[in-house]
Structure 1
Amino acid sequence: MPEPSAPPPAGPTVAPASIVVTGAREAVPLPLPGGTPHPDPDVIIAGIAGWVGSAPLRGLVARFGGRWPTGDLAAVLAGLDDFSGRHWDFRGGRERPEAREPDLHPATARQVRDSAAALGLVRAVPPALGRYAHVVVLGGLAHACLRRVAYAAHLLRRGVRVAGEVAVLGSFRPLSDAERRTLAGAGVDGGDTEVDALDAAVRLAFGVTRPAEEDGRDAGHPHHSWSSRTYRPAGAPPVRVLAAPSSEPERRRAHTADTQRFWAGHARLAPADEVLLVTAPIYVPFQHCDALRTLAVPYRCGIDTVGVDPALPDLTRLPEPALTPGRYLQEIRSAIRSMRALHATVAAG
């Protein structure tokens, strides 16, 4: 893998007004495309251009031997998608835990970590508002299910108000043996699937034992099936645990965008609703842009995406696997691809 030390190419290749000039070691992450209600397409596009045209990302492309793509923003995003697929895709179509870790020079590894911090994949930022229409917790691996649900419960205890519901979104992805061990180590019976782990996390974090309402459809295959369980904890908004069907059931399981669209239909998401999305810091850029594409643009709602704060004492018993340079590069690629999809949606009108 080439890792030349040449500086990034000079001169912007997207509109100069859209470029954010910043250093990779700055403490404040680059802003993501705006998530305010009734989103303005021009503001979203300018936000995408600022993030992808920034100095930290340009520096990473140069470090791995790339030339900055030429052309308009769509061409730059396509070029970065192609480049990151050749240099930063360590999954190869596999699940995230199965990704390989690249052998990087220490200087390159440091640059990757600095750039990830500047691009918004490291620092946990608190919610921007004190009140939301809904809180949406995104599923993931077993440890992530526990941490994100616990963090959502923590935010509610600390005063974040929710007019609607807390929605915990997942799929029927089978748990691995390692995930089962993680749950067992935390004293949790997590069942067989991701949505089972999320359900167990809700019962643990919100102190509930059984759902008040249940609905769903068993279609004989997890890619076609769905389920919904709604809990009503005392002194808190309803908490719905939802497993979505896949939009491409012949090819894959449900992914994040599927779960968000499926939930929006159930929740009757309305224009001007403010939605707080809870994930891990490393996934904030890509999942924020996915939510803009699947929720903000079609429903005209607001999106505020936050990552779990790892410093909270009640999360120390739920450790997260090490965040390596390879993982950061993989999720920078995810952010690029998510921004490309968002740009295509917004540009198409």
Structure 2
Amino acid sequence: MVDGIAGWVGAAPLRRLVARFGGTWPACDLADTLRFLDDFSGAHWDFRGGRERPDAREPDLDPDTAELVRVTAAALGLVRPVPPARPAYAHLVVLGGLAHACLRRVAHAVHLLRGGLRVTGEVAVLGSFRPLSELEHRTLAEAGVLDCATEVDALDAAVRLALGVSAPALQDGVDAGHPHHSWSSRTYLPAGLPPVRVLAAPSSEPHRRRAHTADTQRFWAGHVQLAPDDAVLLVTAPIYVPFQHCDALRTLALPYGCGIDTVGVDPALPDLARLPEPTLSPGRYLQEIRSAVRSMRALHAALVAG
């Protein structure tokens, strides 16, 4: 893992991108390089400012810089989807996100299953009680999905839409009176496919924030009793693969000893042609390069501490 982090961080395209934004590459060890990149990207590539991703501003970049951003993102693995590395996994995990992502990622996972990917355990669709924005409501309405209030509602609707199921076979959860403390689980049993569990996790810091990706992964791992040597496939969007893969290595592979592969949705698949696809701008790519840097820094710190 350390070699993988060092290779990604030290890649020539990333060095060129830092130089384009006025940075001087440091002569230091990996931990200090990650610290430099975290600080540098925070100063130059953080367009969220603590807001949700849809509320991030778009930087005004000249055409040459915008093209360099796109080339760098492709070189760092944020653009092109790749197929799963194995023909079979113990579990398939679909990561939640914005409304369009909920629809597309669930559809892609079902495409993989119907295309012959074997899953011996369960399909886990992981989200939170984050309220949907007005734009997300419009996105869902365009796809014929109504009456969703939260991210996990959108994921549940995406499962029912992709699988043609109407009601869960099993339900569980706790309504604690606040979404940061509550959790829910709905399990569907589609014919000929593994069980599909839609899970919303509580926050590990409920006084500060909603549940994030690492919270949902840890919560799911405890529910499914993730075992050493289990192979887990994560499905997300290509732009999030580096950062969410490193998060999963830190939150699942290190404590449980399981294997992790992470793939992005392939927009060329016929199953996805009818579903809305966002426009990915240079600012979005810069933001997620920063996310990957921060995730790799956290993973490296965990590896050194362990």
Q: Give the whole-Å Cα distance in 1 for the aligned partners of 2:259 and 2:26.
A: 31
The 2-side partners of 1:160 and 1:50 are apart by 30
1:229 is aligned, of 165, 186, 209, to 186
Q: Is the 8 A contact 2:100 2:276 kept in 1?
A: yes
> Aligned ranges for residues 9-158 of structure 1 at < 5 Å?
44-158=1-115
| Other structure's SS at 2:22 match | coil
Structure (1 or 2) with the greater helix fraction? 2
- The answer on whether the counterparts of 1:69 and 1:80 sit within 8 Å (CA) in structure 2 is no
Identify which of 179, 195, 199 aligns with 2:152.
195
**Matching residue of 1:261:** 218
Write the deviation string for residues 278-298 of structure 1: whole angstroms up to 9, x where unpaired.
000000000000000000010
Which has the higher mean CA deviation after the structures are superposed, 79-88 or 181-190? 181-190
Q: Could you tell me whether the CA contact under 8 Å between 2:139 and 2:276 is conserved in 1?
A: no
Could you tell me how far apart the structure 1 residues matched to 2:217 and 2:55 are? Answer: 25
Q: SS in structure 1 opposite 2:94?
A: strand
Secondary structure of the 2:210 match is coil
**Residue 69 of structure 1, CA deviation:** 2.5
Alpha-carbon distance in 1 for matches of 2:269, 2:276 = 11
Instruction: Name the count of aligned residue pairs.
Output: 306
CA contact (8 A) 1:296 1:303 kept: yes
- TM-score norm. by structure 1 comes to 0.87
Q: 2:172 matched to which residue of 1?
A: 215
Residues 68-121 of structure 1, C-alpha deviations (whole Å, 9 max, x = no match) = 123211110001000000000000000000000000010000000000000000
Q: 1:281 aligns with which of 208, 224, 238?
A: 238
- Equivalent residue for 2:204? 247
Give me the TM-score of the superposition, normalised by structure 2: 0.99
Residue deviations 1:43-90, cap 9 Å, x none? x11110010011011010000000112321111000100000000000
Displacement of 1:210: 0.5
3-state SS of paired residue (2:261):
strand
Report the CA distance between 1:190 and its aligned residue. 4.8
Is it true that 1:172 corresponds to 2:129 in the alignment? Answer: yes
Shift of 1:137: 0.1
- Partner Cα distance (1:133, 1:232) in 2: 17
Any unmatched runs of 5+ in structure 1?
Answer: 1-43
Q: Secondary structure at the match of 2:187?
A: strand
Which of 164, 185, 195 pairs up with 1:238? 195
8 Å CA contact 1:190–1:200 kept in 2: the answer is: no
Alignment match, 1:7 = none
- Aligned-pair distance for 1:204? 0.5
How many angstroms apart in 2 are the aligned matches of 1:139 and 1:112? Answer: 26
Deviations 1:132-176 (A, max 9, x none): 000000000000000000000000000000000000000000001
Q: Which amino acid aligns with 2:198?
A: V
Check conservation: 1:150, 1:205, Cα contact below 8 A: yes
Give the secondary-structure state (helix, strand or coil) at the position aligned to 2:109.
Answer: helix
Partner amino acid, structure 2, of 1:220: G
Output the CA distance in 2 between the equivalents of 1:319 and 1:195. 18
What letter is aligned with 2:83? P
One-letter amino acid matched to 1:345: A
Aligned with 1:206 (options 135, 158, 163): 163
Larger mean Cα displacement after TM superposition, 185-194 or 264-273: 185-194
- C-alpha RMSD of matched pairs (Å): 0.6
**Which 4+ residue blocks in structure 1 deviate beyond 2 angstroms?**
none
Deviation at 1:317, TM superposition (A): 1.1
